[in-house]
Structure 1
Amino acid sequence: MAESLVSGVAERLGNLLTQEANFLPGVSTQVELLQIELKQMQGLLKDPNARQDESEAVRQWVAVARELAYVVEDVITTYALKDAEIVEKLHEVLREKKCLVILDDIWNIETWNILREAFPMKNTSSKILLTSRNKEVPLHVDARGFLYELQCLNKERSWELLEKIAISWRKGHFPEDFEIPTEELIQMWMEEGFIWLGEDSEDTMEHEGEQYLRELMQRSLLYFTPSKEFYFKKSKLLRVLNLNSYRRENLPKDIGRFTHLRFSSLKNSDINHVPSFLGNLKCLHSLDLRLPYLVDSDTKVRVPNVFKEMKQLRHLYQPDQHKASEKLELGNLCNLQTLLNVGLETIKMATSFRLNHLRILGFKVHVNGEASHAIQILVPSCPHLYQLFVNYPILKLLETCQFSPNLAELELKFSHLKEDPMPTLEKLPYLKTLDLSFLSFFGKDMVCSEGGFLLLQYLILVNINIKEWRVKEGAMPSLCHLRIDNCWGLKAIPDGLRFVTTLQELEINFMPKSFTDRLEKGGPDFYKVQHVPSLVFTNYW
């Protein structure tokens, strides 16, 4: 009797939950949990041990079932209110009580007409404060209501506002329709805690942020409005400080007090040195010091040894041209994912140097004797490197095994390589973009072998001194785009290019007319490129 009673309650309750869950969003999780508990209750009642004191057990489980029923009833009541009931309830509250209702940014009369049934206009002490960009909206709501129109600021108030904006600079806040660099936006999301990774996730927060961007683009909702606004003189808990294009040579010392900063940028600002008080910002995740290029070597930006305690730093962008008052210690920055404009002669190298999380690495320095040795240590110490930019003479390329197997993008400029780099680089399994530019190779012959560069899609050759380039059949089977600029010694496109059937565009700039004429229809080399959909020849002479 007792078992059938509780089982009956459980069955009816389960049926009720299932029926309600079919049309009520958000209830399904509660339903599953409660159904599990009810099944456990039924199972326990069938257990012989539980029957030793059947009357007591029954009383206890009936009480449990009753409590569960109350909980389910509360859940269903919460979610089951239909639109009409919500409108009626709100209307009743506003009529019986004295309330102030604020409706912000009602764009048009149609929107108000949808909402109006919920708001009593007579026999009530409640008031409605409505904001709109359309003057017709408040007049339609209540022609006798008080209408306040915002006025333009006078000259004095305008100047006061401008000063406040200048003091707070941009504060990481972007106006409507502002074009935001995706890299900067993702980093700001990270610092605000908007990006979350599960415990078992192998992705980086940057990769997850890119997924967020794609979803926003698909929904046509690509915008960013920070949850807080920060003022320079008032907030010690400042998280984001964006001083891009700051037009003074020195930074306020107060910045050193903002020890909770996560993101700070001085990109394109006029400062002539990096202040030592930046070393206080130990919680920084991203620091952008990419200052304008300085032609005069005597005016290089001085960078003190301030990074060594920034153990949470993930993205560090150093000035294009800089000098260090002492060797910069980066060995503690084990969370680094981006490190650009590294001056190899300015950093302290150690045999134990290892950056396991680094994805993007870029060198841009004036070389001395230490640089070639330094790159032999640093690049192999980054096993997960995805992008590598080298902008100085290295003379000799690293061995294939010294590069990260994950390397997808490689840029070599002013490398002054004496030996053909292709036999080494074509073995990188995931290389998709290769840029050899500005005297990166001093040799005369270059060969791409069969089966090499399996995933290479973009190949850029700019201002290198080659005279002959051979492409074997089966080389670069994924190549989509080939660009050749200012390679004056090259007399003709390699014959093997006709086997690269994936090539979609051949772009040739600043080459002799005799070179491009050979590739025109009817020319002796046209057969090599006739399968390419887009042939672009510009600035030939």
Structure 2
Amino acid sequence: MNWDFVDFCPSATSYMNGTETSIVAFKRKPNILTWFTGIFIKGVNLHRIGSDIKKITTEISQLSLIIPSFNLHQTRESGGDTFFQRQQERRIAYPHIVDPHVVGLARGTEILATHLIKEKGPRVVSIWGMGGLGKTTLAKQVYHHGDVKRHFNCFAWVCISQQCQAREVLEEILTKLISPTNEQRQEIAKLKIDQIAERLWNTQRERKCLVVLDDIWTSDAWISLQAGFPINEETESRILLTTRNKEVISYADKKGFLFEPQSLNDDESWELFEKRAMYGMENTNPKIYEQKKELGMEMLQHCKGLPLAITVLAGLLNRKDTVDEWTTVHKNIDAYIRRGTDLGSNSIGEGYEGVSWWLELSYDSLSYHLKLCFLHLAHFPEDYEIPVSTLTKLWMAEGFISFAPAKEMEDVSYRCLSELVGRCMVQVGKHGSSKKIKTCRLHDLMRDLCTLKAKEGNFLHIINYYAAAEIKPTPTDRVRRLAIYLDDTVDAYSPGKDENYGHVRSLLYFGHHYCMDSKVLRSLFKNFTLLRVLKFEIMYGREFKLPDEVGNLVHIRFLSLKDSLIKAVPSSIANLVCLHTLDLRSRNRCIKIPNRNVFSKMEKLRHIYLPSGHNARDKRLLFATEAMNLHTVVNFGIQAFDLDDFVKLTNLRKLGVIIFDGGEKKEKGTNIVFKHLQSLLVDSHLEDLAIPWNIVLSCPNIYKLGLRGKITELPKDLMCLRNLTKLTLREFGNLKDDHIKVLEKLPSLRMLFALSGNFPAHLICSKGGFPFLEFLSLYWLNFKEWKVEKGAMPSLCKLHIALCFGLEALPDGLQYITTLKELTIKEVPSEFCRRLGEGGEDFYKIQHVQSVIITNIGA
């Protein structure tokens, strides 16, 4: 299937060709009725096109859900059984067959067994993880655990899989729990589904039953079964379920216990591999054994700790006796792991043994738009930490979220990512201060599937300069998306006209500090006029002006030139009226923007990042009055206390303002309330101004606040910011004792960063202060003594201190903060280090901390 997304504008023009001609003819006549008729006809046609596109997209989405069940690529007949039926049979796990070679499951087995037999414990205990992680194997270990067998008196294990037939499943569970006679079986077979559900429900209330629902895929499957389970009743029966989809767990029991198995570490991976692939080889030729061991350990690196991948590889090698055969597998290791068979094999089981088949089941279950979002992840290099903020904006620019209302596109885009995470297809990297996902990544084997599917559908073409051998020739088909991986040895690459890239809609560059100049950019802007997405970041070399040809990109929705050396932006940038996201944050702080009206025609603008230049007055820019969906404005210059420029931008979620002195310091805009704003940065240090608190207090729901500039007061109204979890203070001058008392009473503060300023000479954190603070970072601060009273900072987990030369010693009170797990102290005198070392007079203060890193000034 080709995943080229419809280019709506050209298609619409082609579709209405005749109508467009008639409209031009009408315009030549001064008949106003005819003119309005033409406009009406054009509007009707546009509406019809939009309806047709929406209908087609919906049908594709529905078809994409059922096509995998037909397996059109591999339909085969054998003895009356369809390929799909055999596929289902392959996935059934038989509870009486227990794998003798299990590694790394002991801890998880004990935890799960304990929760299942706990008095008044959770009704539902869940195992959640990606395909191949060993969920079913772990469930079997729990199912046969001695304490579990003794605790329950009725057991049932059913494999749900993707095609859940509710009546059959409920009947199977009931039959296994009550062990009916033949006569009772016949009676049950005649019951309706509601009668079976009621009898199953009563059975679990009256007895101690353990029901294992293995491989349940969707919340709909659970909903169809839930009438048979007394989840909200007092009962000693329990449910153990395994799933790849976290949504299922929230439907089954929000108060239940969730266990997420982890990938195996290197030692565990080798232990599992050795048991399966090298069992009994110890007595063979030692030299051959060592050669196989070396090859095996190298091949294990490609499995990334996934038990299924290790088992597949071990099973394949276990059938190969010679070192040469192992070497052959080693040369094409990725392909062997994906397929699980010898390359070129035409065996009946081909496609079942490998990792790709198991992971592809997750892909097949995705809706149409989620498949697009998943395939888009193939753009990013291996092990790349993907910023979620950028990713969701890219999805929006590509049109993957076009079904969502305009105001909700960011939220829907994030929910799409969350669903991919919930389905174990995407891994979480870091969480932000508001607990939302900040970065994400793909497991290597899931990325293999992603790139394979992207290639099959001509969704994306990758030019990889990281490894010259991976550079692929120019594709013969029209490619819509192009990703280019550059290393330090390659200048920025610009495909030429003869390379069949004229239809590219998306162009993303990846690399560290690659060389760029205006000539290459000019070439891009001339040859890729249909671009919707251009990510061209971290360019180094000489400073350059952004070429005038940027105005050719009239279809562009996402343009990022972040961390480049651009010194000026041309007035032609005003032509980019389709822009959703514009990122001009530059390493050159003096970037010149032509005039204050340059963005006034960009009605679709949602996110704009300006450089943090020192001339804030030049950045007091005007936005289109129709740009009501502006969510992000960063590094926008405003006169002190003046919020007039933002009166109509009440949907803002992230705002960064640079304060300049306009002479008049009358507070304005105090009645403006930005109820949707989540992140606020106020920078007043360039003109040595005090922080204007009216701006801060106009944002009652912010999660993150950054202040750079003099703090002459800390108003008590700051405590009204009930959601504030992260606070950064930078170049703040002198804080006083009463300022600290306000800070430590902030109701939700979890992260505090203080950089380049002066604390009170004798800093005191009082009892009960900073009740929820988890991370405290003190950098380049001037204070002498620090006292932490017992009961202060009771939730602190991480403490980082650097370049605080005046600090004489750590406070005694740290010994009472039992939650402290990580302490990092950098650039302190040698004597300071000695006192904190084991045996030193201050060691008692930190001896309970798990991770301690201390470096002195000379280190």
TM over 0.5: yes
Alignment of structure 1 residues 368-407 onto 2, 5 Å: 368=687, 371-372=689-690, 375-401=692-718, 404-407=721-724
Cα 1:117–1:534 change in 2 (3 A) is closer
Aligned to 1:264: 559
CA deviations on 1:192-214 (whole Å, 9 max, x unpaired) are 24358988999934643552564
CA deviations on 1:31-51 (whole Å, 9 max, x unpaired) are xxxxxxxxxxxxxxxxxxxxx
Contact 1:360–1:385 (Cα < 8 Å) also in 2: yes
Contact 1:355–1:382 (Cα < 8 Å) also in 2: yes
Cα 1:282–1:522 change in 2 (3 A) is same
Pairwise CA RMSD of aligned residues?
4.3
Alignment of structure 1 residues 15-94 onto 2, 5 Å: none
Correspondent of 1:428 among 734, 737, 746: 746
Aligned to 2:611: 319
**Structure 1: how far apart are the matches of 2:378 and 2:798?**
38
Alignment of 1:533 onto 2:825: no
1:259 Cα deviation after fit: 4.3
Aligned to 2:786: 469
Instruction: State the SS of the aligned residue for 1:510.
Output: strand
**Structure 2: how far apart are the matches of 1:393 and 1:276?**
36
Identical-pair percentage: 34
Cα 1:245–1:500 change in 2 (3 A) is closer
Alignment of structure 1 residues 287-366 onto 2, 5 Å: 287-294=582-589, 299-302=590-593, 304-305=595-596, 306-307=598-599, 310=602, 312-323=604-615, 324-325=617-618, 327-329=620-622, 335-345=629-639, 349-350=643-644, 351=669, 353-364=672-683, 366=685
Instruction: State the SS of the aligned residue for 1:381.
Output: coil
1:28 Cα deviation after fit: 7.2
Aligned to 1:480: 797
Letter in 2 for 1:360: S
Instruction: State the SS of the aligned residue for 1:208.
Output: helix
**Structure 1: how far apart are the matches of 2:409 and 2:591?**
40
Alignment of structure 1 residues 109-508 onto 2, 5 Å: 113-114=345-346, 174=379, 177=382, 179=384, 181-182=386-387, 183-195=389-401, 204-205=411-412, 207-208=414-415, 210-211=417-418, 214=421, 215-218=424-427, 220=443, 221-222=446-447, 228-229=480-481, 230=504, 232-233=525-526, 238-245=531-538, 249-294=544-589, 299-302=590-593, 304-305=595-596, 306-307=598-599, 310=602, 312-323=604-615, 324-325=617-618, 327-329=620-622, 335-345=629-639, 349-350=643-644, 351=669, 353-364=672-683, 366-368=685-687, 371-372=689-690, 375-401=692-718, 404-420=721-737, 421-439=739-757, 441-508=758-825
CA deviations on 1:30-84 (whole Å, 9 max, x unpaired) are xxxxxxxxxxxxxxxxxxxxxxxxxxxxxxxxxxxxxxxxxxxxxxxxxxxxxxx
Specify every segment of 5 or more residues in structure 2 that has no aligned partner in the other structure, as ranges: 1-84, 89-158, 167-334, 351-375, 428-441, 461-479, 482-503, 506-524, 645-668
Contact 2:603–2:624 (Cα < 8 Å) also in 1: no
Instruction: State the SS of the aligned residue for 2:815.
Output: helix
**Structure 2: how far apart are the matches of 1:300 and 1:430?**
38
Contact 2:697–2:717 (Cα < 8 Å) also in 1: no
1:287 Cα deviation after fit: 1.8
**Structure 2: how far apart are the matches of 1:402 and 1:331?**
35
Contact 2:684–2:710 (Cα < 8 Å) also in 1: no
Cα 1:377–1:488 change in 2 (3 A) is same
Letter in 1 for 2:731: F
**Structure 2: how far apart are the matches of 1:437 and 1:310?**
37
**Structure 1: how far apart are the matches of 2:547 and 2:344?**
49
**Structure 1: how far apart are the matches of 2:791 and 2:809?**
20
Specify every segment of 5 or more residues in structure 1 that has no aligned partner in the other structure, as ranges: 1-19, 30-104, 119-170
**Structure 1: how far apart are the matches of 2:672 and 2:602?**
16
**Structure 2: how far apart are the matches of 1:540 and 1:445?**
23
1:509 Cα deviation after fit: 1.2
**Structure 1: how far apart are the matches of 2:414 and 2:745?**
26
Q: Which moved more, 1:511-520 or 1:241-250?
A: 241-250
**Structure 2: how far apart are the matches of 1:117 and 1:523?**
66
Cα 1:186–1:446 change in 2 (3 A) is same
Q: Which moved more, 1:203-212 or 1:487-496?
A: 203-212
Aligned to 1:512: 829
1:472 Cα deviation after fit: 2.1
Instruction: State the SS of the aligned residue for 1:488.
Output: coil
Instruction: State the SS of the aligned residue for 2:733.
Output: coil
Instruction: State the SS of the aligned residue for 1:204.
Output: helix
1:503 Cα deviation after fit: 0.1
1:335 Cα deviation after fit: 3.9
**Structure 1: how far apart are the matches of 2:716 and 2:600?**
30
Cα 1:519–1:392 change in 2 (3 A) is same
Contact 1:289–1:318 (Cα < 8 Å) also in 2: yes
Aligned to 2:293: none
Instruction: State the SS of the aligned residue for 1:492.
Output: coil
Cα 1:279–1:238 change in 2 (3 A) is same
**Structure 2: how far apart are the matches of 1:347 and 1:281?**
32
Contact 1:353–1:378 (Cα < 8 Å) also in 2: no
Contact 1:417–1:442 (Cα < 8 Å) also in 2: yes
Letter in 2 for 1:487: C
Equivalences, count: 389
**Structure 2: how far apart are the matches of 1:308 and 1:504?**
50
Letter in 1 for 2:613: Q
Contact 1:172–1:240 (Cα < 8 Å) also in 2: no
1:504 Cα deviation after fit: 0.5
Contact 1:286–1:315 (Cα < 8 Å) also in 2: yes
**Structure 2: how far apart are the matches of 1:494 and 1:308?**
55
Letter in 2 for 1:422: I
**Structure 2: how far apart are the matches of 1:307 and 1:513?**
55
Pick the structure with greater CA Rg. Answer: 1
Cα 1:270–1:486 change in 2 (3 A) is closer
Contact 1:334–1:356 (Cα < 8 Å) also in 2: no
Instruction: State the SS of the aligned residue for 1:188.
Output: helix
1:462 Cα deviation after fit: 1.1
1:285 Cα deviation after fit: 2.8
**Structure 1: how far apart are the matches of 2:853 and 2:787?**
21
Letter in 2 for 1:317: Y
**Structure 2: how far apart are the matches of 1:292 and 1:111?**
50
Contact 2:397–2:558 (Cα < 8 Å) also in 1: yes
Contact 1:236–1:257 (Cα < 8 Å) also in 2: yes
1:271 Cα deviation after fit: 1.8
CA deviations on 1:157-192 (whole Å, 9 max, x unpaired) are xxxxxxxxxxxxxx9994753836423223212322
Letter in 2 for 1:320: S
Contact 1:330–1:348 (Cα < 8 Å) also in 2: no
Cα 1:494–1:465 change in 2 (3 A) is same
Contact 1:331–1:353 (Cα < 8 Å) also in 2: no
Contact 1:342–1:363 (Cα < 8 Å) also in 2: no
1:417 Cα deviation after fit: 3.4
1:500 Cα deviation after fit: 0.8
**Structure 2: how far apart are the matches of 1:457 and 1:474?**
14
Q: Which moved more, 1:517-526 or 1:195-204?
A: 195-204
